[in-house]
């Protein structure tokens, strides 16, 4: 298992993510908050000289976490988590220098995989898979450095319906 830590420690934040090759630590400077009309927290973001810097968390009306994304000097880095209003994970996205990197994973409300897209420094690279709600493969594409090499579609029973190359 790879080491992963995204946390605030006193007046600093730290990101250690072996999967993404990240080891970042920095001072937290300014916490910006906004509230819904009823008084519940809408978001809290940390900033450094007007740029997002540290965790940025958004909430729903009932104060449930809807998303958390980390920034370093205004650039999205590391993992971003998005949630359905019931708290179930909607997506896990990975970023390097503001660009999608490695697997971007999206889920159905029941937690089963919906879409998995692979990137390399912001460019489609590797497998992209889409799934039917029951978990059966719906579509599979292979990309190499942004160019689609193959594309296969499957019916609800998992049978190959169409292949494009």
Q: What is the mean pLDDT of the chain?
A: 96
Q: What pLDDT was estimated at residue 164? A: 65
Q: Give 2's pLDDT tier (boundaries 50, 70, 90).
A: confident
Whether residue 162 is predicted with pLDDT greater than 80 in this model: the reply is: no
Mean pLDDT of 38-53: 96
Q: What pLDDT was estimated at residue 37? A: 95
Whether residue 148 is predicted with pLDDT greater than 70 in this model: the reply is: yes
Mean pLDDT of 60-70: 96
99-140 pLDDT tens trace: 999 999 999 999 999 999 999 999 999 999 999 999 999 999
| Contact criterion met (CB below 8 Å) for 95 and 78 | yes
Annotated domain spans of the chain: 101-165
Whether residue 96 is predicted with pLDDT greater than 80 in this model: the reply is: yes
């Amino acid at each position: 298992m790879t080491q992963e830590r995204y946390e605030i420690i006193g007046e600093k934040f730290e990101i250690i993510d072996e999967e993404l090759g990240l080891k970042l630590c920095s001072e937290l400077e300014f916490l910006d908050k906004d509230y819904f009309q009823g008084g519940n927290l809408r978001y809290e973001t940390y900033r450094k000289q007007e740029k997002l810097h540290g965790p940025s968390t958004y909430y729903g009306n009932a104060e449930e976490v809807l998303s958390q994304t980390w920034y370093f000097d205004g650039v999205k880095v590391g993992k971003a988590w998005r949630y359905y209003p019931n708290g179930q994970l909607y997506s896990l996205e990975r970023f390097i220098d503001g660009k999608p990197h490695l697997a971007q994973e999206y889920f159905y409300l029941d937690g089963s995989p919906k879409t998995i897209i692979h990137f390399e420094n912001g460019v489609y690279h590797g497998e992209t898979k889409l799934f039917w709600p029951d978990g059966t493969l719906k579509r599979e594409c292979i990309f190499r450095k942004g160019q689609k090499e193959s594309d296969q579609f499957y019916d609800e029973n998992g049978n190959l319906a169409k292949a494009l190359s």
